[in-house]
Amino acid sequence: MFTVTAKLPGENNRDYSYRVIKEAIMALELKPGQTISEIELAEALQLSRTPIREVLAKLREEHLVEVIPQVGTYVSKIKPKLIEEATFVRITLEKEILKLSCESFPKEKLLQLKGNVAQQELLIGQQGMERKFHQLDKDFHYIIFSGNNKENAWDAINRLSTHYNRMRLLSEMEHSFNEAINQHKMFIEIIENHQAEKVEGIIRQHIIEPIKLWEDLYKENSPYKDFFDHTYKMPVF
Amino acid sequence: MFTVTAKLPGENNRDYSYRVIKEAIMALELKPGQTISEIELAEALQLSRTPIREVLAKLREEHLVEVIPQVGTYVSKIKPKLIEEATFVRITLEKEILKLSCESFPKEKLLQLKGNVAQQELLIGQQGMERKFHQLDKDFHYIIFSGNNKENAWDAINRLSTHYNRMRLLSEMEHSFNEAINQHKMFIEIIENHQAEKVEGIIRQHIIEPIKLWEDLYKENSPYKDFFDHTYKMPVF
DNA sequence: GTTAGTATACTAGTATACAAATAGGAGCGG
DNA sequence: CCGCTCCTATTTGTATACTAGTATACTAAC
C-alpha cells in the first residue's frame, strides 16, 4: 500500500505510524483523494486501530486527511485556498525573520546554513533526490528561524504548508532545484552583509517561484487534475 | 474538578470533551502545572478513556498539556518563549492583514465588525464578563482575517496563542478592557479611511498592551508565580 | 539510622470487542 | 425497465480488558 520504513529506537507506535503515514501522504505515495481505512493502515503497520486513530486525528488537524463518520477516511485533495494562505503566511513571516537576521544572527547558525547549502550543492545533477533536497530545504529555513529563537513560528508555518508542499513536489518533479540553491546562497549573503533592503524581493521570489506553473497542474487536461479540490476558486499570483 | 457544560447538539464525544477541557484550561480552571489523569477526566465527563486520549493528543499539539508515558499528564505551565513567539507572529501577520484591509474590505464584514464592537460596549462596567469579552475580541480579529480570506492563518495564530491568551487572562482579571475596545474602534476607522500608515503603531500597542505588566505576575512574590515555567528566560518587550 | 531491595499501586500505551450509522445492492412490485 | 424497500457489509465511534513502565512506600539487611 505504501512504503513502511523501520521503527526508530525510542519511538512509540503512535509516533512511528505518524511519521510513516505523513511521509507517505507528503510524498504523494498516498494520493490526494484516495480512500484509506483505519483497518487497512493498522494491518499495513501491524498495529491495532487505537494508535492509528490518534494519528488520523492529528493529521486531520493538519488538513491532511478528512474523516466522514461511519463512512470513511480520505487523503485531502490539494486545496488552492490553503496554498494561498500558506504562501501569505510564509512570505509575511519569513520576510520579517530575515530582516531581523540582518540585524543580528548567531555565528554558529550561519555556519550551519553554509554547511546545509554545501550539502544541497552535492545533489545537483543527481536524479531522484527530490525528497532529500526538500528535507535540506526545510532544514535551511528552520535554521534561520531557530537563529532568531522562533522555532514554534516555523512549526506553525510548517503545519499550514502541507498543501503548498505537496503541490510544490508535483511542480518540481520535472524541474531542477538549481535556482532554489542560488537563492539560499543569496539569503546567506544578505544576512552576512546586513542588506535588509534586499529581503522583500528575494523572499517573494523564493516562495512563489516553485508554484508559478501550478496552473498547468490544476487545469482540465493535466494528469494530476484529480489531485486538486476544484470546489475552491484558484487564487491568482 | 471543573465546569462541565452540556453537550451541544450534533457534537460527538470527542468534540464535546475537547471543547470542555480546553475551555477549562484556557479559563485557568485547570491550573498550569496541575496533574490531570485520563481516568479522572473520563469520569468527570462520564466517558471512556478513548475519546479523552484523542483529545489529550490534540491538546498536546497545542502545547496545552504535557504527557509523560507511564507517569501522568499535566497542564502545561505558561512558557515565556511561547508568549514571545505568539506575540511576534500576531504582530507580523495582523499588521499585514490590516494593511490589506485598508486596500479593500467587504462591506458586509465591516458591518459585522461594528456589530461586534457594539456588543463589546454593552459589557463596559459589568463584572465577571472577561470570558464573554474575550470571545468577542477573538471574533473581532477573526472577522478581519475572514474579510481577507485568511481564516486558516488566523487558526494558526490561535493555536500558537494558547500561552499568550492564558497570561492575558491573568493580567486582565484586575484591569478593564475599555482601552481594547477603543483600539478596536480605531481598527474600523483605519479600514474605512484607508489609513495604512497608522497600522503599525496601533497593532503593536494592541497586542503588547495586555501583557506589559506580566513581569508582576511572573516574579518571585506573585501569587501566580507557579503558573509559569521559569526554566525559560523571560523575553523583554 | 541509612540504604538497598521489593512489592504495590497507579499511569499511559495498546489491543480488541461491540455499537451505531451509512452506503450499496439484491429483491420485489409496479 | 424503473423505483422502492430492506438487508448486509463496511466504516468510524466507543468502551473495556490487558500490558508495561514508573514512582513510592515498605521491609530487611547492614
| B39 CB below 7 A from strand C atoms | yes
Residue A127 backbone phi and psi in degrees, to 5: -95, 155
Residues of chain B with Cβ-Cβ distance to A85 below 8 Å are 149-153
Percent of chain A with pLDDT over 90: 63
Contact B152 A159 (CB under 8 A): no
pLDDT of the residue at A73: 93
Least confident range from B61-70, B100-109, B111-120: namely: B61-70
Q: How much is the pLDDT for A237?
A: 64
The architecture in CATH of the region A13-75 reads Orthogonal Bundle (1.10)
CA distance B99 to chain A (A): 12
- Residue-level pLDDT at B121: 93
Residue bearing cell 532545484: A177
Rounded distance, CA A68 to CA A48, Å?
Answer: 20
Residues of B in contact with A149 (CB under 8 A): 81, 84-85
Q: Which residues contact B6 (CB under 8 A, 6 or more apart)?
A: none
**In this predicted structure, what is the pLDDT of residue B1?**
75
CA dihedral B80, B83, B89, B95 (to 10 degrees): -120
Query: So what's the pLDDT on residue A170?
Result: 87
Stated as kind and residue range, the H or E segment containing A67 is strand A65-68
Whether residue A128 has pLDDT greater than 80: no
The share of chain A scoring above pLDDT 70, in percent, equals: 97
Q: Residue A117: pLDDT above 90?
A: yes
CA-CA distance, A5 to B158, in Å (whole number)?
34
Residue B97 near residue B144, CB atoms below 8 Å: yes
Mean predicted confidence (pLDDT) in B11-34: 90
pLDDT of residue B143: 98
Q: Of the candidates A12, A82, A93, which has its C-beta nearest B93's C-beta?
A: A93
Task: Give strand D nucleotides closer than 7 A to any protein Cβ.
Answer: 10-17, 20-23
- Assess contact for B180 and A184: CB atoms under 8 A: no
Q: How far apart are CA B25 and CA B59, in angstroms?
A: 10
Distance CA A186, CA A143 (A): 15
Q: Reduce the DSSP state of residue A78 to 3 states and report it.
A: strand
Q: Is A32 helix (H, G, I), strand (E, B) or coil?
A: coil
Asked whether the beta carbons of residue B58 and residue A58 sit closer than 8 angstroms, the reply is yes
Looking at beta carbons, which residues of chain A come within 8 Å of B204? none
CB B80, CB B229: distance < 8 Å: yes
Cell numbers representing residue A161 in the block? 504548508
Strand D closer than 7 A to residue B47 Cβ: yes
The predicted model gives B57-66 an average pLDDT of 91
pLDDT bracket for residue A162 (50, 70, 90): very high
Of B7-16, B33-42, B78-87, give the lowest mean pLDDT range. Answer: B7-16
Chain A interface disruption, residue of B88, B101, B204, most A CBs within 10 A: B88
What integer is the mean pLDDT of A114-120?
Answer: 96
Confidence class of residue A31 from pLDDT cuts 50, 70 and 90?
very high
Note the pLDDT of residue B49: 87
Question: How many whole angstroms separate alpha carbon B146 and alpha carbon B128?
Answer: 29
Tell me the mean pLDDT in the region A89-98. 98
Q: What pLDDT is recorded for position A8?
A: 82
Between A92 and B225, residue with greater pLDDT: A92
Q: Classify domain A80-220 by CATH number.
A: 1.20.120
- Residue predicted with more confidence, B130 or B33: B33
Whether nucleic acid strand D comes within 7 Å of the CB of B104, the answer is no
* Over residues B30-47, mean pLDDT: 89
The full set of domain ranges for chain A reads: 13-75, 80-220
Give me the residue from A53, A61, A152 closest to B160, CB to CB: A152
At A179 the pLDDT is 86
What is chain B's mean pLDDT, rounded?
90
Q: How confident is the model at residue A173 (pLDDT cuts 50, 70, 90)?
A: low
Are A157 and A93 within 8 A, CB to CB? yes
B173, pLDDT greater than 90: no
Contacts of B82 (CB under 8 A, 6+ apart): A152, B63, B160, B162, B163, B164
Most A CBs within 10 A among B89, B145, B154, B203, hence the mutation to make, goes to: B89
With cut-offs at 50, 70 and 90, classify the pLDDT of residue B222.
confident
User: ipTM of the predicted structure?
Assistant: 0.89
Strand C: which bases are under 7 Å from protein Cβ? 10-17, 20-23
Nearest-Cα distance to chain B for A85, in Å, is 6
Range with the poorest average pLDDT among B15-29, B133-147, B202-216: B202-216
**pLDDT reported for residue B116:** 97
Q: Which three cell numbers stand for residue B168?
A: 492575558
The more confident residue out of B109 and A48 is B109
Q: Which helix (H) or strand (E) holds A75?
A: strand A72-75
Query: Which of A11, A85, A159 to mutate: most B Cβ within 10 Å?
Result: A85
Contacts 24+ apart (CB under 8 A), A63-68: A63/A162, A63/A163, A63/B152, A64/A22, A64/A25, A64/A162, A65/A25, A65/A36
Q: Which residue is nearest to nucleotide C20 (CA to C1')?
A: A70
High-pLDDT (> 70) share of chain B, %? 97
Do residues A116 and A133 touch, judged by C-beta distance below 8 A? no
Q: CA B29 → C1' D19, Å? A: 34
Q: By the CB < 8 Å criterion, does A93 face chain B?
A: yes
Protein-to-nucleotide distance from the CA of A35 to the C1' of C25, whole angstroms: 21
Q: Quick count: other Cβ atoms within 10 Å of Cβ A224?
A: 19
